[in-house]
Amino acid sequence: MAEQHAELHFEGKVYKIPVVEGTENEKALDIGKLRAQSGLITLDYGYKNTGATTSAITFLDGEKGILRYRGYSIEELAEHSSFLETAYLIIYGELPTKDEYSQFVGDITKHTMVHEEVKSILDGFPSKAHPMGVLSSLIGALTAFYPNSLDPNRSGEEVNTSIIRILAKLPTLAAWTYKNEKGQPVNYPDNSLDYCSNFLKMMYAVPTDKYEPDALLSDALNKLLILHADHEQNCSTSTVRIVGSSHASLYSSVSAGVSALWGPLHGGANQAVIEMLEAIKEDGGNLAKWIAKAKDKNDPFRMMGFGHRVYKNFDPRAKIIKKAADNVLEKLGVHDPVLDIAKQLEEVALKDEYFVSRSLYPNVDFYSGIIYRALGIPTQMFTVMFAMGRLPGWIAQWKEMRENNEPIGRPRQVYTGRTQRSFVKMSDR
Ligand code: SDX
């Protein structure tokens, strides 16, 4: 098919801009030569309309509420897959055969322990430290224990060992972060358990009591991690890519991704949602008041868990999580009044012109906290759970960027500061 192009008419000249088309018929202007030809750059705060790359990992359609990993819908993966199977798919591009899967799980199982000296790093954190700050530091510290991981240009096999190591160790680091906050002794991994059960045991087992894994909780966590596993060029993934584009190591790039995810406008929203729902409950459930606050431009309060940069219709993950929240609470025989408030808030907001006209629907973070609470996970650990889920996506995107030999990320700007002026001695100012 002949190459499509657009024309830019500027100062009496016409510039042909090639159009790139993806496999899902998305079209983009390739402005790679725009500045050299016309002297023009583009300006797009928050990259709302700017594609940073091409990628074969995740497709989402914000208008139709579609999300697929390597072509498979999240509805099917959440229903039929395991988190590690989905992680394999996202990282290596295909669903694993039985042998590939047992090799992958076997490799991960071999690496679940972390170096004993990590404990002394952990001990250096006050117990009140936020788990996301601790986790980001511990992931960065992995570079100290695995110096071969520093060079991303090492052999594919060594890079893959770094990938296996961080997939295996993140649950251990996350659970140890929690134990540090609780002031409890850490638990070592139990490799007889599956990924999610092992994590929950490291989180909740205490020396004084026998710990019994609960399949219901592990299944719920498994589904949640699948739903968080990747989401194309979101804020934290773009951070991982741009840090990795300088040829920084995978662990440094993921550590930066954890920090970006922490923000309440991004992954930190799952913690902020529960804090918001608790505040509304404390305030007598006065939904109208809080919806008015969210609409008031003079009030910094935002309806956490609502709105999305890309989904201008429902977030498909929110629909699955909402159903799973009902299911988990029912099976656990738990009634969480905060879930009732969340459902009422969704119902009222989606009838309000302010939310409807801005396409503000519940996003992945709106209901996920309800399930995390039901799993006994403390609010401050919610975003750590998001990071655990998102890890395969960060790895896959970093790997794709490195394998495609993408250049170092270095956006341009439009300067709006003072034009040239001469220095004035302090005595003359
Ligand atoms: C995640 O990108 C991803 O894929 C992220 C994520 C992933 O999987 O990686 O999906 C995970 O981060 C989900 C989002 C979690 N964040 C929140 O729930 C925080 C609350 N939501 C917002 O702050 C906001 O909706 C964002 C940050 C999610 C999106 O912001 P945008 O795209 O920059 O939109 P915007 O801020 O320009 O808002 C457009 C309008 C504005 O009003 P007007 O200026 O047009 O009058 O909508 C309003 C905003 O004030 N608005 C809200 C609102 N979100 C947007 N008003 C009240 N409450 C909100 N939550």
CATH code at 364?
Answer: 1.10.230.10
- Low-confidence stretches of the chain (pLDDT < 70) are 1-2
Number of structural domains found in the chain: 3
Which residue of 258, 308, 313 sits with most ligand 1 atoms within 8 Å of its CB, as the best mutation to test the pocket? 308
Tell whether 224 and 277 lie within a shared domain.
no
* pLDDT at residue 50 in the model: 97
Indicate which CATH number applies to the domain containing 9. 2.20.28
How many angstroms is it from 306 CA to the middle of ligand 1? 7
Which residue of 47, 276, 309 sits with most ligand 1 atoms within 8 Å of its CB, as the best mutation to test the pocket? 309
Residues 6+ apart with CB under 8 A from 246: 408, 409
* pLDDT at residue 3 in the model: 84
Tell whether 304 and 333 lie within a shared domain.
yes
**410 φ, ψ to 5°?**
-155, 85
* pLDDT at residue 155 in the model: 87
What's the CA gap between 371 and 404, in Å, rounded? 38
Tell whether 231 and 91 lie within a shared domain.
yes
User: Is residue 358 included in any domain, yes or no?
Assistant: yes
User: Is residue 428 included in any domain, yes or no?
Assistant: no
- Give, using CA atoms, the residue closest to atom 41 of ligand 1: 358
Ligand 1 atom, smallest distance to 309 CA: 32
- Give, using CA atoms, the residue closest to atom 43 of ligand 1: 358
Instruction: Show the ligand 1 pocket: residues with CB < 6 angstroms.
Output: 46, 231, 234-235, 265-267, 269, 294, 302-310, 358, 360, 363-365
Q: List, for residues 357-381, the tens digit of each pLDDT value.
A: 999 999 999 999 999 999 899 999 9
Whether 365 is catalytic is yes
Of 266, 308, 335, 428, which residue is the catalytic one?
Answer: 308
Whether 283 is catalytic is no
How many angstroms is it from 348 CA to the middle of ligand 1? 18
Orientation of helix 156-182 relative to helix 250-262, angle to 10°: 40
Tell whether 176 and 211 lie within a shared domain.
yes
* pLDDT at residue 2 in the model: 60
Tell whether 159 and 287 lie within a shared domain.
no
- Give, using CA atoms, the residue closest to atom 39 of ligand 1: 358
Ligand 1 atom, smallest distance to 307 CA: 25
Tell whether 292 and 353 lie within a shared domain.
yes
Tell whether 59 and 94 lie within a shared domain.
no
* pLDDT at residue 334 in the model: 87
Instruction: Supply the pTM of this predicted model.
Output: 0.96
* pLDDT at residue 95 in the model: 98
Residues 6+ apart with CB under 8 A from 366: 273, 304, 305, 306, 318, 321, 322, 342, 346
- Residue 360 CA to its chain's centroid (Å): 20
- Give, using CA atoms, the residue closest to atom 32 of ligand 1: 309
- Give, using CA atoms, the residue closest to atom 14 of ligand 1: 266
Q: Which domain holds residue 80?
A: 72-264+381-403
* pLDDT at residue 134 in the model: 97
* pLDDT at residue 346 in the model: 92
Tell whether 152 and 296 lie within a shared domain.
no
How many angstroms is it from 129 CA to the middle of ligand 1? 27
User: Over the range 279-304, which residues count as b (16 or more CB within 10 Å of their CB) and which as e?
Assistant: ebeeeeeebeebbeebbeeeeeebbb
Q: Could you tell me how many residues make up the chain?
A: 429
